[in-house]
Structure 1
C-alpha cells in the first residue's frame, strides 16, 4: 500500500473523508432547500417547475450530480467501516458504563439515524427523481418543461409519505447536530474561542434546515 491509500484507509483518514463529505452534503441541503422553497409561491407551481427544469438540464448541475452521488456513497461506506472498527475495538458493550453520561443520544445512534435517512432518500428519489428523469410526466401547456409540481402535490397528499418525510427530517436534524460539530473536530478545527460558536451554529443550522424541509409536505398536506 502506498502512503495515500494507507492514510485514507486509516481510522483518521476515514474520519477526514466523513467530515469533508458531510460538510459537502450540508451545502447540498442548503441549495436543495432554497430551490424547494419556490413551492410556497402562489403561482401554480411555475417557479418550481422552472427551477426543476434548470436543475435537470444544466450541464454543470448534471456533472455535480455524480459528485453528489460519490459524496453520499463515500459518506455511507466510511460510516459503516468506522462503526465496525469501533465495535471490534470494543467487543464488550456499554451495559455498565452509563454512556448517557458521557455522550449524547444522537452520537450513540448515528447508525440508526443514518439508516432512517437512507430509507427516506431512496423513497424520495423513487417518487421524484425517477419520474422526472425516466418517467413520462405531463408537460406544462405552452412551455418546454415538465409539470413536476403536480407530482409534489400528489405525493404530499399521501399521509404515509408525509409522516415518513417528517420523521426523516427529525432524524436528519439529530444526525446533523452531532455530525456538524464532529466534522470540525475531526478536521482539527477546534479552539476554545471558536468551538462554542461552531456548536451553536451547527445546532441552529440543523434545526432550521430540517424545519424548512418538513414545513413543505405539511403545508401541502393541510393547506393545498
Structure 2
C-alpha cells in the first residue's frame, strides 16, 4: 500500500483526486438542479415536497449522501493542500511575472471562489437540510410528507439570503469554468481535436447550471407571495 499512499499524496495524485471528485460533484449539481426545478410547478409546492420526501427517505439516496459528503471533503482538503504547495513553490509570487497574461482570473482565484461556495453551502444546509432532517417542519394535510416548500418560500423572501445565493452562483460559474477544463487536463484527457469542444461544453455547462440555480431564488423573491 506504500506505493498507493505515495501516489495519491503526490501533487499529481491529489490533482487526480481533485478532478474525479470535481466531476462527481458536477453530476450532483445536475441531479440537484433537476429536482429543484419542481419548485417552478404551479401546484402549491406539492411536486417539490414529494421530491424532497423521496430524497430524504430513499435508502439508496441516503447512502449516496455519504459518498457526496466524502467527495466534498476530499475535494476541499486537496484544494487546500495543493494551494499551500503552490505557494510554497513560489514564495515570491507572481508580482513580476504578469500572471494575467498567462492565466485566467478564475484560475488565479479558485481559493476565493471555493471559499464563497463553501460559506454558501454551510448556510444553505442550515436553512434547508437541517430543518428537513432534524427539525419540526409543518406537515402537509392528508399527506405523509412535510411542507419544505413553505420553508423555501420563506427563505427566498430574505433579500440578504437571496443576494448571497446569487453571488455564490456567480462564484460557482467561474469556479466550474476553470475546474471543468482543468479536470480533463489533470486526467490526461486532452486532444487537439476534442479539447476545444470540452472547453466550450464546460463554459456552457457552468453558465447554465449556475444560472438555473440563481433563477430559483430570484423567481420566489419577485413573483411568489408568502
Residue 200 (str. 1) matches residue 193 (str. 2): no
1:134 is aligned to: 134
Paired with 1:203 and 1:155, the residues of 2 have a C-alpha distance of 30
1:121 is aligned to: 121
Residue 52 (str. 1) matches residue 52 (str. 2): yes
Q: What TM-score does the superposition give when structure 2 sets the normalisation length?
A: 0.99
Paired with 2:186 and 2:97, the residues of 1 have a C-alpha distance of 24
Cα deviation code 1:156-215 (max 9, x no counterpart) = 000000000000000000000000000000000000000000000000000000000000
2:212 is aligned to: 212
Paired with 1:140 and 1:64, the residues of 2 have a C-alpha distance of 27
Paired with 1:37 and 1:146, the residues of 2 have a C-alpha distance of 18
Size of the aligned set, in residue pairs, is 224
Which runs of at least 4 in structure 1 moved beyond 2 Å after TM superposition? Answer: none
2:69 is aligned to: 69
SS at match of 1:42: coil
- Is there any run of 5+ residues in structure 2 with no aligned partner, and where? none
- Is there any run of 5+ residues in structure 1 with no aligned partner, and where? none
Paired with 2:217 and 2:19, the residues of 1 have a C-alpha distance of 30
2:154 is aligned to: 154
2:176 is aligned to: 176
SS at match of 2:64: helix
Superposition CA RMSD, Å: 0.5
SS at match of 1:103: coil
User: Shift in Å at residue 97 of structure 1?
Assistant: 1.0
Q: What TM-score does the superposition give when structure 1 sets the normalisation length?
A: 1.00
